[in-house]
Amino acid sequence: MGDITELLSQARAGDQGAFDALFAELYPQLHRIARMRMASSPQLTLLDTTGLVNECYLKLVATSRLTPVDRGHFLAYGSQVMRSIIVDAARARAAERRGGGVPDATLSSDFALEAALPEEEVLGIHQALNDLAILEPRLVEVVEMRYFGGLTESEIAESMGLSERTVRRDWEKAKILLASVLA
């Protein structure tokens, strides 16, 4: 049994220490994958999350740190960690802007950094999800897995033990609520 599998089952049993350890394990892994995505992305600022958490899952299984039966649970946890990574990045970006303005590319670069990075949107969604978590945690999970984790509806359905139709309806609902907050 892989070490991640063990942490997963302990975390599911409510062991906060195991959850923290799992978080610390997954954060850098997912972070690297996200950066790789960024590196190959045609767009400078948009992170393609498609299959991101799944890719991490496959890597861990390939290195025997995770047994394939844990897929559903892993995808949910992984998406939660991914949300943290993306929010951290957005905060860092926002802080840098407040602190010293956009890094100036004048001297050393012919491509501009000037394009605005709407990290505020990401932070707004994060905040709204915190509110929503009190009302309906299931919607939050769907958004985490879909938006931050880049999972498909069928992967989410499998992970959460719901029908795909329910997942799709939850996603539509969540989008409307998030839009009402961002508007």
Buried-exposed string 87-123: b where 16+ CB fall within 10 A, e elsewhere: bebbeebeeeeeeeeeeeeeeeeeeeeeeebebeebb
Among 47, 75, 76, 142, binds other proteins (CB under 8 A): 47
Measured distance CA(42)–CA(45) in Å, rounded: 9
Is residue 39 classed exposed, middle or buried when 0-12, 13-18 and 19+ CB atoms within 10 A define those classes? exposed
In whole angstroms, how close is the CB of 151 to other proteins at the nearest point? Answer: 12
Nearer to other proteins, 1 or 24 (CB): 24
What does the alpha-carbon distance between residue 146 and residue 95 come to, in Å, rounded to a whole number? 26
Residue nearer to other proteins on the CB measure, 17 or 35: 35
Does 148 bind other proteins (CB under 8 A)? Our answer is yes
State the nearest-atom distance from the C-beta of 88 to other proteins, in Å.
6
3 state SS of 163: coil
Among 69, 101, 114, 161, binds other proteins (CB under 8 A): 101
Helix (H, G, I), strand (E, B) or coil at 38: helix
CA 2 to chain centroid, in Å, comes to 23
Nearer to other proteins, 32 or 68 (CB): 32
Binders of other proteins: how many residues, by CB under 8 A? 73
Distance, in Å, from the CA atom of 35 to the CA atom of 28, rounded to the nearest integer, reads 10
Judged by beta carbon, residue 1 or residue 165, the one nearer other proteins is 165
Q: Which stretch binds other proteins (CB under 8 A): 5-13, 68-76, 90-98, 154-162?
A: 90-98
* Residue with tokens 């707004």, as numbered in its chain: 124
Interactions with other proteins, residue window 102-141 (CB under 8 A): 102-111, 113, 117-119, 121-122, 124-125, 127-128, 131-132, 135-136
Using CB under 8 A as the binding rule, the residues of this chain from 52 to 71 that contact other proteins are: none
Which residues ranging from 151 to 180 are in contact with other proteins (CB under 8 A)?
A: 169, 172-173, 175-180
